[in-house]
Amino acid sequence: MSARAEKIEFNKPDFTRISDVVWDLPKNFKRGMLVPARIIATRKLIDAMDMQVYDQISNVATLPGIQRFAYCMPDGHSGYGFPIGGVAAFDVNEGGVISPGGIGFDINCGMRLALTNLTRDEVRPHVKTLVNKLFHRVPAGVGSRGFVSLSKEEFINEVAMQGAEWAVRKGYGWKEDLERTELHGKADWADKATVSHRAVERGYNQIGTLGSGNHYLEIQWVKPENILNEKLAAKWGFFPEQVVVMFHCGSRGFGHQIATDYLMLFLAVMEKKYGIRILDRELASAPFLSREGQDYYKAMGCGVNMSFANRQVILHRIREVFSEQFNKSPEELGMNMVFDIAHNRGSVEKHEVDGTIKELIVHRKGATGCYNPGRPEIPEFYREDGSPVIIGGSMETGSYLLVGGPNARTTFCSTAHGSGRTMSRAKAKRMVRGSELLRGLEERGIYVKSVSNSGAAEEAGFAYKDIDEVVKAASLAGISLPVVKLLPLGNVKG
Amino acid sequence: MPYRFLEDVAIADVAFEARGGTLAELFKQSALALVNTMVQDPAKIRHSIEKKIEVTAESAEMLLFHFLQELIFYKDAELLLFNNFVLTIARTEGRWRLRGTLSGEQISPDRHELLADVKAVSLHNYTVHKIAGGWQAEVILDV
């Protein structure tokens, strides 16, 4: 990145252009900013971003203990508190804060990707059956319950404390899956004593469910020209024409309630006890090392564990469905996991700031952890390559697998998480009927089964930014580099 | 206009505006907007289950917040959706108190056309205020 700074006039705030894909909003953009805001985006993406993004990311820049910049990733769009795509790191030893609004209601919402050794030609005749079976075996939508029957006690004592480890012990997966999951599928800082009874009530019967909104499960394929890093793709198990499975979901009602509980608690103590003033109630914060801050961090850990367990159980169901359909075991079908990575979490990590190694609580809200080669956060299998990054696109346009790049450290090891919406749900629904959209997709060889036609319309490709442009921005910034692009064949939409 | 969804307020989430001549009417309309975010036709919800609720808060604004959160809680914990709300709201000794009876039924994908699952009520740009002839709220739901 060039340090050359020049003023660029937009019909937007005055950014300082640092490079073609790095733009700064200076500290004088808003009163109270402790650091500048930095947006990673091409000019095209910057032009398409809504004004609220700049307002929200500059609000983040006012939070105590923030380091370097308040960042917005290339898929950024307006959210609440932090924008979606927001990244901020706070020095835990200098009063740095933790904020549920910087992590999101859907704690540890994330992506999981698994391989098969099947080709598109082998799978194509089965796509409809597979999608219909998956639709029944992986419940989605409002009010869905999972097939795993467990008591509230088992949920809070084991799922919330052990995450994917619990699931694998119960037979829902392979030991190898844990080695291919961030944190080995378990937040070891979780403490069940910090979680409310209401959170347990909301989530204990939702293990193995997708949720709704932009959550989905997709059968995808590798178009030969979409292998963009041959060496890594081969090492990570990809080949031309291959079929893979990707899905996106989180910690369901359990995580949502934890976030709400602590939002309320932080609002009550923030100003009175800690003198923290904020510009948006969704930025409610407490010092990380305060009792409230620590309680939220530990409760969030329980949410993290629920989401890893949830995705582990869903992978198990997917393996079952493929196994039944092709009359072979999941092992024979080569259904190994590639990776599981979240995009809504706060993580304690060590990073260099102005020549000093600091312990930071890195908030990523709709932003994916992407670690440069050698970082301790990367599971051993991938450590020398850089961490795999899964970026989910719309059900029309495809998704990407990337790898942490050489400049990952410049964004506290963070990159985009999806293509990022450009249009509200209400508007998308007005522009296309769900049934028409699904028919059109089927004609193009993409079979979608959705809980709701109108929900499908909300997720239409035109409601999202161009995912290729998002990946280009991250790639030009050197924070994450493409390995393979994956195209949809079939999709279960929550 | 009892409630309406707002198009360009929240890109990824669902925003609505609700009005009522009384605070209880505003709460009822806001609850219907929440339910209508999750199912296409709230009128189709039958009344097979009743729940008594009581919520308190330091302001009318936070009372509505907690009331809507209560409905989200029942949706996940007991799979219940409601469309009839008999509510009494009073302010005593500086605190706002809502007592009410909710009527509804368990979610049935066969009979209810499902829309988006609501995760939470967001406090971003959240307001409850008096207008000429009643009350108005603007709410963003995280979906």
Q: What is the pLDDT of residue A326?
A: 98
Nearest-5° Cα angle at A252, A248 to A256 = 120
Please tell me which residue of chain B has the smallest CA distance to A141. Answer: B117
Q: What is the pLDDT of residue A395?
A: 84
Whether the pLDDT of residue A325 is over 70: the answer is: yes
Token pair of A248 as six digits:
């996106």
Where are the strands (E) in B33-133, listed by range? 49-57, 80-92, 95-106, 120-131
Please tell me which residue of chain A has the smallest CA distance to B80. Answer: A143
Rounded CA separation B122/B141 (Å): 6
Which helix (H) or strand (E) element contains residue B138?
strand B134-142
Token pair of A490 as six digits:
């079939």
Average pLDDT of chain A, as a whole number: 94
B89-133: pLDDT as tens digits? 999 999 999 999 999 999 998 889 999 999 999 999 999 999 999
For A167, other C-beta atoms within 10 Å of its C-beta total 29
Residues A3-16: what's their mean pLDDT? 59
Residues A383-402: what's their mean pLDDT? 94
Give pTM, 2 decimals.
0.96
Rounded CA separation A86/A344 (Å): 10
| Residue type (1 letter), A376 | P
With a pLDDT cut of 70, the percent of chain A lying above it is 98
Token pair of A368 as six digits:
């994916």
Which helix (H) or strand (E) element contains residue B68?
helix B60-77
In chain B, which residues have their Cβ closer than 8 Å to the Cβ of A433?
none
The answer to whether the CB atoms of A252 and B76 lie below 8 A apart is yes
Distances (CA, A) of A464 to A41, A45, A159, A382, B66: 15, 11, 34, 30, 32
In chain B, which residues have their Cβ closer than 8 Å to the Cβ of A451?
109, 114
Closest chain B C-alpha to A289 CA, distance in angstroms = 25
Q: Is A142 on the interface with B (CB under 8 A)?
A: yes
Window A:31-60, CB contacts with B under 8 Å: 50
Q: What is the 3-state secondary structure (H, E, C) of chain A?
A: CCCCCEEECCCCCCEEEEECCEEEECHHHCCCCCCCEEEECCHHHHHHCCHHHHHHHHHHCCCCCECCCEEEEEEEEEEECEEEEEEEEEEHHHCCEECHHHCCCCCCCEEEEEEEEEEHHHHHHHHHHHHHHHHHHCCCCCCCCCCCCCCHHHHHHHHHHHCHHHHHHCCCCCHHHHHCEHHHHCCCCCCHHHCCHHHHHHHCCCCCCCCCCCCEEEEEECCHHHECCHHHHHHCCCCCCEEEEEEEECCHHHHHHHHHHHHHHHHHHHHHHHCCCCCCHHHCCEECCCHHHHHHHHHHHHHHHHHHHHHHHHHHHHHHHHHHHHCCCCCCCCCCEEEEEECEEEEEEEEEECCEEEEEEEEEECCEECCCCCCCCCCHHHCCCCCEEEEECCCCCCEEEEEECCCHHHHCCEECCECCECCCHHHHHHHCCHHHHHHHHHHCCCEEEECCHHHHHHCCHHHECCHHHHHHHHHHCCCEEEEEEEEEEEEEEC
Q: What is the pLDDT of residue A122?
A: 98
Would you tell me the crossing angle of helices B60-77 and A252-274 to the nearest 10 degrees? 150
CB A232 within 8 A of CB A403: yes
Q: How far is CA B129 from the centre of its chain?
A: 16
Token pair of A223 as six digits:
């178009």
In chain A, which residues have their Cβ closer than 8 Å to the Cβ of B119?
105-106, 253, 256
Q: What is the pLDDT of residue A2?
A: 38
- Confidence at A204, pLDDT banded by 50, 70, 90: very high
The answer to whether the CB atoms of A141 and B109 lie below 8 A apart is yes
Rounded CA separation A47/A94 (Å): 36
A357-383: pLDDT as tens digits? 999 999 999 999 999 999 999 999 999
Q: What is the pLDDT of residue A6?
A: 45
Return the DSSP state at B133: T
| Longest Cα separation, chain B | 47
Query: Euclidean distance between the first and final Cα of chain A, in Å?
Result: 40
The answer to whether the CB atoms of A425 and B77 lie below 8 A apart is no
With a pLDDT cut of 90, the percent of chain A lying above it is 86
> By mean pLDDT, which of A4-8, A46-50, A215-219, A488-492 is the weakest?
A4-8
For B94, list phi and psi in degrees, rounded to 5: 80, 0
Rounded CA separation A139/A354 (Å): 48
In chain A, which residues have their Cβ closer than 8 Å to the Cβ of B114?
141-143, 212, 451-452, 455
Residues A242-260: what's their mean pLDDT? 97
Question: Is A417 among the catalytic positions?
Answer: yes
The answer to whether the CB atoms of B109 and A143 lie below 8 A apart is yes
A81-95: pLDDT as tens digits? 999 999 999 999 999
Q: What is the pLDDT of residue A458?
A: 87
Q: What is the pLDDT of residue A8?
A: 46
Whether the pLDDT of residue B1 is over 80: the answer is: no
Return the DSSP state at B69: H
Window A:436-475, CB contacts with B under 8 Å: 451-452, 454-455, 458
Q: What is the pLDDT of residue A9?
A: 45
A43-59: pLDDT as tens digits? 999 988 888 999 999 99
Which helix (H) or strand (E) element contains residue B134?
strand B134-142
